Chains A and B, each alone.
Chain A
Amino acid sequence: MNNRSMIIFSVILIALITLGGFLPDWATFHITRSLGLGLVVLGLMLMLRAGLVSFGQALYYCLGAYTAGALMHFYHIKEALLLIPAGMLTSALLAAVLGALLANYRGIFFGLLSLAFSMILYGVIVKSSSLGSTDGFTLTSPTFFGMALGESSRYAVYITACVLTLISIWGLERYLRTPLGRLAPAIRDNEIRVEYLGQSVRNAVHIKYIISAALAGLGGALTALTVGHIDPEMAYWTTSGEFVFILILSGSQSVIAPFLGALLFESLRTYAYQEFPYVWQMVLGIAMLLVISFLPDGIWSLFKSRKAKPT
């Protein structure tokens, strides 16, 4: 994204923040939740650019949410501006540990090992009564700069999500322009050449994995504050599957696409739940088939300029 795109996107975000004041609660909830999911998918997109698909990103999404939830539940910390970074940090720290192992694997082994780790967290939470077991637990409204905002709290979470999304997009876009960020497609294409230019592929993958986990933790913590309830389903493999679904829907060509994909996915799911309550998964499946058949590069390819096609 160049400066012009960034200005356009900033204007859109400011418009969203302004618009949020007029939108009904369900709409701000819907957008905030989509931004939370979009942040997770943004991290997945980074991994996909390096040729790696994680089927266990729900691990960090859930960890981010439970970190925020546990701090609120057990330590009565309600400050959103502490809870959200804490969720992000915990996920990044766990990724730093697990990534040391996962960075050695590629393809299906990477995908399934990441899935295995997420299911371990699911199992631990389900068996832990202090964490609410299968029911999880409910969160109260967070405070912002120490202020309890009451009814306005949801709007404040919405603004926070908008700002954090902008910062994440800007940060990732900048990262992708650094030599380390540019390595993503190089790692996907040819690891041997990367090593023979003097760069450790393992380290580069590890760093990308930590960044993607931090984004997932951020998305998880935001979702926890948005929804006001957390449960172990957040770590379940179907949740990871949803992230991969959104990634396929979005494509990996733009850092904005994951948010459009998440918004479309949330809208589609809400519509399917409402109109086809017994076969809603089928609607999502058909949507997936259509996207893969007609938009193999995701919905972002609809916005791509024809002249940008590679020669």
Chain B
Amino acid sequence: MSAILEARGLMKTFGAVTAANDISTSINEHSITGLIGTNGAGKTTFVNMVTGYLKPSAGSIHFAGRDITPLAPRQITRLGIARSFQIPQLYDTLTVRENLIVALGIVLRNAKSSFFSKLPAQVPGHNEPLDTVADNLMTQFNLNGYADRIARVLPQGVRKQLDIAMAMAGKPQVLLLDEPTSGVAAEEKFGIMDMIMNVVRAEKVTVLFVEHDMDIVSRYSDRVLAFYDGRIIADQAPQDALNNPEVQRYVTGKRHA
């Protein structure tokens, strides 16, 4: 497997606080990587730098061999890196279907070669008309029962599903999930993760996900990056990472069963 995403010496400071301190890592294609660490360890800062929300103070980020460090979030998204958010970013006054239609409409627009050129009849990557793709996404993410519900009134778990479905609208190569199960009832967590993982594995998407629940991390990731104080203190297979004394001391706070 070849590296699709690479961070080289990433630094990020906010005044006196160093949120990222010389982070270097390489993410292989089709891999599923869990990012763990206590609050303030630098996980979300890392995700925000990769997706262009924050610009690193030093260092660079490379996607498929291209330096994406100076690019804006929308440019990075167009290249094939999508993300979901810890607090789902939805269009609250629109229905679930409308949310997806807006998202797919943007994907269609991005496929235009110029402002005046015609919109493609099919959504790039999906090769089907927009309405069909919206229906397919709703089926994939178990949203059919909520199609005509306004996003504002959706349960938290469904909001998370919709947020990820929208991120998947552009058929990204890399998907970054920021705490995909936070705020979701414990009994629903595995169901939501199973559903997400089924889709991303079928689509061969490379995934990085931030997670606090070590059971989720050990079950779904094939590699773990443990963050502490802006640095990566462990980069191992899940069980090895969770048994790593440094990780137990600074991240999990206990020996993982």
A193 touches which of B72, B75, B90 (Cβ 8 Å): B90
Question: In chain B between 57 and 91, which residues have their CB closer than 8 angstroms to a CB of chain A?
Answer: 72-75, 77-78, 82-83, 85, 89-91
In the complex, the answer to whether A180 meets B51 with C-beta atoms within 8 Å is no
Bound form: Cα–Cα A197–B83 in Å? 9
For residue B101, CB closer than 8 A to chain A, the reply is: yes
Per-residue CB contact flags for chain B residues 152-188 toward chain A (1 = under 8 Å, else 0) read 0000000000000011011000000000000000000
Question: In chain B between 80 and 114, which residues have their CB closer than 8 angstroms to a CB of chain A?
Answer: 82-83, 85, 89-95, 98, 101-103, 105-110
For residue A146, CB closer than 8 A to chain B, the reply is: no
In the complex, the answer to whether B91 meets A186 with C-beta atoms within 8 Å is yes
For residue B119, CB closer than 8 A to chain A, the reply is: yes
* CB nearest to B150 among chain A residues: A310
In the complex, the answer to whether A183 meets B102 with C-beta atoms within 8 Å is yes
Q: Interface of B with A (CB < 8 Å)?
A: 51, 72-75, 77-78, 82-83, 85, 89-95, 98, 101-103, 105-110, 119, 148-150, 166-167, 169-170
In the complex, the answer to whether A196 meets B89 with C-beta atoms within 8 Å is yes
A199 touches which of B82, B109, B149 (Cβ 8 Å): B109
With A311-B149, A311-B150 as contacts: A200 and B74 at CB distance below 8 Å: yes
Q: How far is the CB of A165 from chain B (nearest CB, A)?
A: 26
In the complex, the answer to whether A199 meets B74 with C-beta atoms within 8 Å is yes
In the complex, the answer to whether A193 meets B91 with C-beta atoms within 8 Å is yes
Tell me which residues across on chain A come within 8 A of B108, comparing CB atoms: 179
Bound form: Cα–Cα A14–B89 in Å? 46
Q: A179-B105, A193-B166, A196-B73 are in contact. List 6 more A-B contacts (CB 8 A).
A: A178-B105, A180-B109, A189-B93, A193-B91, A196-B77, A197-B103
For residue A241, CB closer than 8 A to chain B, the reply is: no
In the complex, the answer to whether A196 meets B148 with C-beta atoms within 8 Å is no
Bound form: Cα–Cα A198–B170 in Å? 9
Q: How far is the CB of B69 from chain A (nearest CB, A)?
A: 17
For residue A174, CB closer than 8 A to chain B, the reply is: no
In the complex, the answer to whether A190 meets B92 with C-beta atoms within 8 Å is yes
Tell me which residues across on chain A come within 8 A of B78, comparing CB atoms: 198
Tell me which residues across on chain B come within 8 A of A186, comparing CB atoms: 91, 94, 102
With A179-B119, A195-B74, A197-B169 as contacts: A189 and B94 at CB distance below 8 Å: yes
With A189-B92, A195-B74, A196-B77 as contacts: A183 and B106 at CB distance below 8 Å: yes
B106 touches which of A188, A189, A190, A198 (Cβ 8 Å): A198
Q: How far is the CB of A307 from chain B (nearest CB, A)?
A: 12
Bound form: Cα–Cα A190–B99 in Å? 11
In the complex, the answer to whether A310 meets B106 with C-beta atoms within 8 Å is no
Tell me which residues across on chain B come within 8 A of A189, comparing CB atoms: 90-94
B102 touches which of A182, A192, A200, A311 (Cβ 8 Å): A182
